[in-house]
Amino acid sequence: MYIRVLGSGAGGGFPQWNCNCDNCRRLRRGEINARPRTQSSIAVSADGEDWVLFNASPDIRFQLEANPPLQPKRGVRDTGIRAIVLIDAQIDHTTGLLILRESNKPLEIYCTEPVYRDLTSGFPVLSMLDHYCKVNHHPLPINGGAFTIDGFEDFRFRSHALKSKAPPYSPHREDPHPGDNIGVIVEQLSTGRKLYYAPGLGEIEPHVFEAMQESDCLLVDGTFWTDDEMAKVGSDKKAREIGHLPQSGPGGMMEVLSRVPASTRKILIHINNTNPILDQDSPQRRQLEKAGIEVAYDTMEIVV
C-alpha cells in the first residue's frame, strides 16, 4: 500500500497567513528548524498510479503539483485521483473540491449522510459542483461497516463515527450527529496490511482503540500539544472542546499510543501552527521521537 501525505497541517496551514505566533514568526524569519505545511490530506494507492484522495484541502492544486505520482499523464486531461473520501465537512477538508471542478467526469465522492447534508446546505459545495463536473455521492457507513471503491479491488475500507463536532457553519454545530467525523481503516487484501486514518479525534472510544490495535500504520490527530494551547494566541477554546485530543497530559495521544503495539508505525497529522512539535529541535519533538512517534510532513511517502 502506497500512501502520500499531501498536506500535514491543520486549518490555515503553517505558517498561517494572519498569524504571528512564535512558530509562524520564526518560520518566516528562518529562525526555526521546521517545514512549512499545507492543510491536511492524504492519498492511498495499491499500484502507485490510481489513487483514493482523502479530503480535498484548499491547497489541493499545489499539493498535486508537489506529488507527481498523482498526475500519471496518460492524456491531455488526466488525473490519478479515482475517488475522494471526505472524513468530515470542515472547510479545510472540502474547499479543494471547487478546484477539482474542471474534471472531465463526475467526482466520485464518498462521505456520510451528515457530511453530505452540510455540503448541500450550510456550505453547498456539492450542489455548486453540479453546475460543473457533477458529483456521484456514495454514502459511507458509520458503524464500522465495510465499503468498496470501484477500481480498487485490492482494498477493503471500513468507516466508523468519531466523537467530534460539525463545522462552525453547520446547522447542527452544537448538536453533534454520528457521522460528522469518521475514522477509516484501509486494508490491502493481498497483503493483509492496514492503515488507520483519523485526523480529528476528540476521544478514544473503544472502537477507535480497537482500530489502532489492529492496524499496521496510524495517521492520527496531532493538532495540539496541550489542551489550552490556543490560549497563547488569545483564544479561549480548548483542544478537547473543538474535537481534538492533545498529545500531552493524562489521557493524551502520547499515552494512548504507548498502549499500541511497538511494531505499529505511529504518525501524527493535522498539526496546528501553534504546536511546538513543529520545531524539530524542541523538547516536545524529542519526547515524541523517544516514544517512537513520527510527525507527518508534506510529500511524506509511506509504504505499508
pLDDT tens digits for range 83-110: 999 999 999 999 999 999 999 999 999 9
**pLDDT at site 57:** 97
Polymer length of the chain = 304
pTM, full prediction: 0.96
Is the distance from CB of 205 to CB of 211 less than 8 angstroms? no
Mean pLDDT over each residue of the chain, to the nearest integer: 96
**pLDDT at site 76:** 83
What single-letter amino acid sits at 299?
T
Tens digit of pLDDT for each residue in 145-192? 999 999 999 999 999 999 888 899 999 888 889 999 999 999 999 999
What single-letter amino acid sits at 136?
N
Q: Which helix (H) or strand (E) holds 25?
A: helix 22-29
**pLDDT at site 164:** 80
- pLDDT of residue 73 exceeding 80, the answer is no
What single-letter amino acid sits at 298?
D
**pLDDT at site 154:** 98
- pLDDT of residue 235 exceeding 90, the answer is no
- pLDDT of residue 74 exceeding 90, the answer is no
**pLDDT at site 243:** 84
Q: Give percent of the chain with pLDDT exceeding 90.
A: 88
What domains appear along the chain, each with residue ranges and CATH number?
2-303 (3.60.15.10)
Buried b / exposed e across 132-149, counting CB within 10 Å, b at 16+?
eeebebbebbbeeeeeeb
Express the helix, strand and coil content of the chain in percent, nearest 5 each: 25, 25, 50
Band of residue 45 on the pLDDT scale cut at 50, 70, 90: very high
